[in-house]
Amino acid sequence: MTTAVGAPARPRRTARQALPLVLAVALVLTAIAYPLTSGGARDAVSWTIVVLGSLLSVVHAGVSRGARTAAGLLALVAVTAIAFESVGLATGYPYGSYRYSDALGPTLLGVPFLVPLAWLMMAWPSWVLADVLARRRTARVAWAAGIFAAWDVVLDPQMVQAGYWTWEHPRPSLPGIDTVPLTNLAGWLLAGLVLMTLLDLLVARTALPPRAGPAAPLLALGWMTLGGALAHAGWLDLPGSAAWGVVLALPVLATLAVRVLRARR
């Protein structure tokens, strides 16, 4: 009797744990479509990427760490994103002066609803990768903030090219990227440090022991950065951000390789 009652639960647990990977694959396939489209179709692809990415973050957080962590992640990122972005729009700090186009749709305090979702898409995979790279909180937060900011180095020139936002003073900038100022990178590092510190505390206080591996968010992060760099070089005529994407990925890949080698000894 016990075996008969308990058996049906296993497929449900397996399906639930597979859902983040399904979302990650859907995200990758949608991202592949971005450089192959234009106009309104490209806008639709962009929105779909952000929705899938944010959904992946919440679902993976819930599956792997529990519902409290997932709900906290959603609330924390939404509040932090709107706070930083609304102050940035009003004052120019900490990113520099910029403005959003109407293409991103409805806004709250001047911030398009799609923007906090983009933060959510980026934040959880950045923290998950940092958790793989470092066990001490200080190092984990530093890695997560750096990954979060590095992701934007690849993403921002693409979004400027698409006309989603523009910078009033795009220079000085990173070599090879003449549309996004260095102040934006500094702002993302600051925002990342604040967000990842809060997120790390949230996970420490709410998370259950991990019940799913990091494969899904890491697949999304890897493709959106390295795959994005490939798209920038081959299809979008953004060689500078492509090169920076590869350069910024090297420390992460090297650290991962060292950890794998040590684990095998």
Beta-carbon neighbour count of residue 61 at 10 Å? 31
Residues 6+ apart with CB under 8 A from 123: 57, 73, 77, 148, 195, 196, 199
Compute the Cα dihedral for 225, 195, 103, 179 and give only its sign: negative
In a domain, 149, yes or no: yes
Amino acid at 72: G
Give the number of C-alpha atoms closer than 13 A to the C-alpha of residue 125, restricted to the C-beta side: 30
Please say whether the beta carbons of 228 and 31 come within 8 A: yes
CA 130-233-47 angle, 5° bins: 65
In a domain, 164, yes or no: yes
In a domain, 217, yes or no: yes
In a domain, 172, yes or no: yes
Domain span holding position 143: 15-264
The encoded tokens of residue 158 equal 């693409």
Place of tokens 């993302």: 188
Residues paired with residue 98 on neighbouring β-strands, in sequence order: 167
Beta-carbon neighbour count of residue 213 at 10 Å? 15
Q: Total structural domains in the chain?
A: 1
In a domain, 3, yes or no: no
Amino acid at 6: G
User: Secondary structure of 17-59 in the HEC alphabet?
Assistant: HHHHHHHHHHHHHHHHHHHHCCHHHHHHHHHHHHHHHHHHHHH
pLDDT at 12: 53
- Give burial (CB, 10 Å; 0-12/13-18/19+) of 58: buried
In a domain, 10, yes or no: no
In a domain, 80, yes or no: yes
In a domain, 113, yes or no: yes
Residues 6+ apart with CB under 8 A from 27: 49, 52, 53, 56, 220, 223, 224
What H or E segment, with its residue span, contains residue 165?
A: strand 165-167
pLDDT per residue, tens digit, the chain (265 aa), is 444 444 444 445 577 789 999 999 999 999 999 999 999 999 999 999 999 999 999 999 999 999 999 999 999 999 999 999 999 999 999 999 999 999 999 999 999 999 999 999 999 999 999 999 998 999 999 999 999 999 999 999 999 999 999 999 999 999 999 999 999 999 999 999 999 999 999 999 999 999 999 999 999 999 999 999 999 999 999 999 999 999 999 999 999 888 878 777 7
